[in-house]
Amino acid sequence: MRLSRYFLPILKETPKEAEIVSHRLMLRAGMIRQQSAGIYAWLPLGHRVLNKIQRIVEEEQNRSGAVQLLMPTIQPADLWRESGRYDAYGKEMLRIEDRHEREMLFGPTNEEMITDIFRSYVRSYKDLPLNLYHIQWKFRDEVRPRFGVMRGREFLMKDAYSFDLDKERSTEAYRRMFVAYLRTFARMGLTAIPMKADTGPIGGDLSHEFIVLASTGESEVFLDKDILDLPIPGEDTDFDGDLSGIIEQWTTPYAATDEMHDEAAFGAVAEDKKVSARGIEVGHIFHFGTKYSEPMGAKVMTAEGKEVPVQMGSYGIGVSRLLGAIIEACHDDDGIIWPKEVAPFHVGLINMKAGSECDEVCESVYAELEKAGVEVLYDDRKTSAGQKFASMDLIGLPYQLVVGPRGLKTGEVEVKDRATGDREMLTPEAAVNKLISALKG
Amino acid sequence: MRLSRYFLPILKETPKEAEIVSHRLMLRAGMIRQQSAGIYAWLPLGHRVLNKIQRIVEEEQNRSGAVQLLMPTIQPADLWRESGRYDAYGKEMLRIEDRHEREMLFGPTNEEMITDIFRSYVRSYKDLPLNLYHIQWKFRDEVRPRFGVMRGREFLMKDAYSFDLDKERSTEAYRRMFVAYLRTFARMGLTAIPMKADTGPIGGDLSHEFIVLASTGESEVFLDKDILDLPIPGEDTDFDGDLSGIIEQWTTPYAATDEMHDEAAFGAVAEDKKVSARGIEVGHIFHFGTKYSEPMGAKVMTAEGKEVPVQMGSYGIGVSRLLGAIIEACHDDDGIIWPKEVAPFHVGLINMKAGSECDEVCESVYAELEKAGVEVLYDDRKTSAGQKFASMDLIGLPYQLVVGPRGLKTGEVEVKDRATGDREMLTPEAAVNKLISALKG
C-alpha cells in the first residue's frame, strides 16, 4: 500500500482524554476515532489489525472443532425474559423500542439466542457435541466508558457456546476451548495466563479468565512464575483426544486474580517464584450446565430415550479489546511494537527523498516484497525524512526498510528491526531476501 | 468439513411464511433463521456464503483504490441534525436513548459519519482523491419486512464514500466504482445491469442502480438486450486511467427501471432487442457533490489556497441481500445452484453407505481434495442415500462426488455437475483430478 493513497491520519499531539498508553497510541497512530463516548470508528490501520486478530481467533476456533455462524446484533426482549436476565441485567443493557413498540435490545452477549437456535433444531444426542461461535459487535452501556477500546460500549467479541449430553462431555468441550485459547493468544505474541475465575452474571460452576500481564492492567494478579515457561500446545494437538493432561499442567502452578486470591495457597509458592503483577482480561470461559437450557427448554433425547436439558458452556474473547491489550504489552517510548502475526503491515518502506534516484529502488523492492506476500506500507510522500521515521516508529511495523541517497551511493539500503532497534546496511536484493525469510520463512 | 460435525439443520417442510423462492430455499437449506421480524441469524452454511460475497466485494473495492475502515453501528443523533436528515428520515430510523438519555440511532447509512471523520483529519487537496468504504450491519426499521434477507431490517451493506476536489475528479471516482461494480457482480456469477436511477433521499444529480434480472424481482425493468453481451472489464483494468470509454459502452444501450422509464427512448430500440423483465437492485451509486460537505463544513484547501467544500459520492452494495438475489437467479426445482465463486463449499462428497468399504475411498478423496484447496462438505452420516442426495441438491454445491458400493465394484465413483445434472463414472483418482481442474484450474 502506498501511503500517498492510504488514509493514515497521524496525530502530532497526544490527545488529552487518553489515560492509558494503548488508547493514546491508537489515537496518535490513526487507528481509531471516537464517534461517541465508548464508540469508535476503526480507521484503516486499526481495521487491518482487528481483521488479523479476528482471523487468528477463527482459525483456532475452527481447529478445535467449533462451527462459525453469525447472530444479529438486535435481539427481542422476550428471549431474555425466558432466562430471567431481562430485568437482572440493569442499565448496562441498551434497550430499544422499534416502530411497532416491540421491546428489543442490542445484544451484550448471546446465551439466550443461541439456546433458542439450538432448541429449534436439535433433538437428539446424536447431533452432539456441538460448539457454535460467532464474532459480532456487542453493546454494553457502561456508565463510564474509558481506556479506549479496552472498555468501550460497542465492542467486537467472539463468543462460543458448547452443547453436550452430560457434565463429563461438557467438561471435554471446556477443555477444547481452554487449549484453543492458549494457542490463540500465543499466536498473537501474548503471554495470556489462565486463572480460576468467578462466574459472575453468566452463572455456573467452572470458569477461567485468560489474563495478559501488563503494568497498566485493570486487576491485580498473583502467580507462580513456573506458569510463564509452560509450553503452548502445538498445531498438531488432537482435539478429539484427551486434553486433561494439558489442563492439569496449566492449572497446577498458582495463578489467581485478586478476586479469587488465596493468601494461604500463594504462601506455599517458593519465595523466588512468587509474582504479583497487574493483568488485562482478554478471554473468559464458563461451564454453566443447565442454567439456560433448563428454563428455556433446550432438551435432547438420550440413547435411552430420556429427555434431558443440554449441558452448556460459553467462551468469550474480547476481539476489539485485544488491540489495546497487545499495545499495553508491546510498546516503547516511540510507539507501538506489533508482534508479526497481528501487525497491520509487515514492512514500512521509507523513501527518504521521493522524486530522486530513491524512487526506482523503492519501486523495485516494493514490487518484490509484495510479490512474496510481504505486506508493505510504502511511504512515498514528499514529506521530511524525520517525519517519516517518527511515523513508522509510532505505528510499529516489525521492520523498516529505509532507502536514502547516501546509502545508495554504495548501493545499500537499511533494514531496521522495530523491536530491537538493530540496523543493518544491505544491498536491496539482500534486504528483500532477509525480510522475506524473516517474515515468511 | 464432515457433516457429522457440522450444523446444517435442513428443513423438510416448506416454511409457510416464505413468499419467494430464495427465502424458502434459505430457510430449508438451513442457511438462516428468523430471530425477530426482518432479523436473521446466519447459520453456518449461510454465513460461509455471506463471507465469500464479502471477500469479493472487498477485493474489487481494494482493486479500484478504495480504502477499508469500519464505522460503528450506533451513531449520535446530533450528526444527523447537522445534515438535516434526523427529522427527515422518519420511522425507518431506529432511534435509541442510552442510559444518560443521549439520543442515538442504529445507522441506516453513513454519509454523516464519514463526512465527520473526513472533516476532522483532511484539510488539503494533496490528500485527495480519497475513497473510504466499510462493510457493516445497518438497520432500517421497515414497516413490513419481508422476502427474507431481501428486505430485512438488520442487513449487511458495503458503503463507500468518495472525496474529491472538484466535479470532474468526483466523476472519475464515480466511474471507478461503476467499473468495480461491474466486476464485483460478474465475479459472483450474476448479470447485473447498471440503470440510470432516481437519487431519492441520498440526494444528488448522478446515480445508477445495478439490477439483477430475476422473474421475482421487485421492480419492472426495460432494456436493449445488447447490454447483456457487453464484456466485463478485466482484472488488469487500469483504475488510474480513463474509464469513460467503459462507462459510455455500458450506458449507451437502453436500460431503465420503471421509475426512470422513458417510453419514447425505449421505442427507438429495435423491436427484436426490446426486453422487459423484472429485476432486483443489488447496488446503487450516487454522486451528490456538496450535499453533506456544505452543511457539515467538510472543506479542503485548493492549490490556490482557497477553501472549498469537498465533492462527494456514495456507493452501496447490499451484501446480505445478494444471497437472496443470487438464489433468485440461480435455482431449480430441487434447490439452489451456487455459482462456483460464492458456493459455501465446492464439492458435496456423499458416502452412500457409511460404515462400509465406501469409507476408505471417501476418506482418501476427501483428504486429497482438501489438500488441493477444494472445499468439501463430506456427508459421512449414517442416513439414507436418498436423503443425502436430496439435501445435496437442496444446498446446491457446484459438484457432487458420490461413493457407493455398486460403483466401487468396478472401482468407480460418480461426479455430478449440479447445474447441468451431467453425471460421469470415473476412478476416484480421475474424479479428484477432474474436480481440482474444474474448481482450481
Q: What is the pLDDT of residues A1-52, one digit of tens each?
A: 999 999 999 998 888 888 899 999 999 999 999 999 999 999 999 999 999 9
Cβ distance of B47 and A70 shorter than 8 Å: yes
What number of helices (H) and strands (E) belong to chain B?
14, 23
Q: Which domains, and CATH codes, for chain A?
A: 21-335 (3.30.930.10), 345-440 (3.40.50.800)
Q: What is the pLDDT of residues B70-98, one digit of tens each?
A: 999 999 999 999 999 999 899 999 999 99
CA dist B237 and A174 (Å) reads 50
Q: Which residue of A has its CA nearest to B143?
A: A99
pLDDT band at B205; cut points 50, 70, 90: low
List Cβ neighbours of B249 (8 Å cut-off, separation of 6 or more): B230
Question: Residue A203: its pLDDT value, please?
Answer: 59
CA dist B113 and B123 (Å) reads 17
Residues of B in contact with A38 (CB under 8 A): none
Cβ distance of A33 and B117 shorter than 8 Å: yes
CB-CB neighbours of B108 under 10 Å: 20
**Phi and psi for B144 in degrees, rounded to 5?**
-140, 80
- Decide if B410 contacts B428 (C-beta within 8 A): no
Cβ distance of B94 and A91 shorter than 8 Å: no
Residue B9's nearest CA partner among A66, A299, A121, A70 is: A121
Minimal Cβ distance to B35: which of A42, A46, A72? A72
Cβ distance of B69 and A9 shorter than 8 Å: no
Cβ distance of B69 and A36 shorter than 8 Å: no
Q: What is the pLDDT of residues A222-251, one digit of tens each?
A: 999 999 999 999 999 999 999 999 999 999
Structure letter (DSSP) for residue A120: H
- Decide if A391 contacts A340 (C-beta within 8 A): no
Q: What is the pLDDT of residues B415-435, one digit of tens each?
A: 999 999 999 999 999 999 999
Say yes or no to pLDDT of B247 above 70: yes
Q: Which residue of A has its CA nearest to B40?
A: A72
CA dist A343 and A339 (Å) reads 6
Cβ distance of B42 and A154 shorter than 8 Å: no
Interface pTM (ipTM) of the complex? 0.96
Residue appearing with cell numbers 499466536 = A187
Minimal Cβ distance to A47: which of B70, B73, B137? B70
Minimal Cβ distance to A154: which of B72, B120, B143? B72
pLDDT band at B14; cut points 50, 70, 90: confident
Mean pLDDT for B257-285 is 95
CA dist B434 and B417 (Å) reads 11
3-state helix, strand, coil in chain A (%, to 5): 40, 30, 30
Determine whether B274 is exposed, middle or buried from the number of CB atoms within 10 Å of its CB (0-12, 13-18, 19+): middle
The grid coordinates listed for B235 are 482484472
Q: Which residue of A has its CA nearest to B8?
A: A121
pLDDT > 90 fraction of chain A, expressed in percent and rounded: 93
pLDDT band at A275; cut points 50, 70, 90: very high
Say yes or no to pLDDT of A54 above 90: yes
pLDDT band at A114; cut points 50, 70, 90: very high
CA dist A277 and A229 (Å) reads 16
CB-CB neighbours of A283 under 10 Å: 27
Residues of A in contact with B158 (CB under 8 A): none
pLDDT band at B202; cut points 50, 70, 90: low
Q: In Å, how far is A264's CA from the nearest CA of chain B? A: 42
Say yes or no to pLDDT of A202 above 70: no
Say yes or no to pLDDT of B197 above 90: no
Cβ distance of A99 and B91 shorter than 8 Å: yes
- Decide if B329 contacts B378 (C-beta within 8 A): no
Relative orientation angle of helices B319-329 and B21-28, to the nearest 10 degrees: 100
CA dist A267 and A254 (Å) reads 10
Say yes or no to pLDDT of B315 above 80: yes
Q: What is the pLDDT of residues B119-172, one digit of tens each?
A: 999 999 999 999 999 999 999 999 999 899 999 999 999 999 999 999 999 999
Residues of A in contact with B33 (CB under 8 A): 117, 120
- Output the CA–CA distances (angstroms, integers) from residue B318 to A69, B284, B291, in the order listed: 19, 9, 23
List Cβ neighbours of B85 (8 Å cut-off, separation of 6 or more): B112, B201
Structure letter (DSSP) for residue A21: H
Q: In Å, how far is A226's CA from the nearest CA of chain B? A: 37
| Interface probe with A: pick from B8, B36, B80, B100, most Cβ of A within 10 Å | B36
- Output the CA–CA distances (angstroms, integers) from residue A66 to A58, A323, A426, in the order listed: 9, 23, 46
Q: What is the pLDDT of residues B45-63, one digit of tens each?
A: 999 999 999 999 999 999 9
Determine whether B382 is exposed, middle or buried from the number of CB atoms within 10 Å of its CB (0-12, 13-18, 19+): exposed
Which amino acid, A108?
Answer: P
Cβ distance of A71 and B104 shorter than 8 Å: no
Q: What is the pLDDT of residues A362-386, one digit of tens each?
A: 999 999 999 999 999 999 999 999 9
| Interface probe with A: pick from B55, B59, B67, B154, most Cβ of A within 10 Å | B67
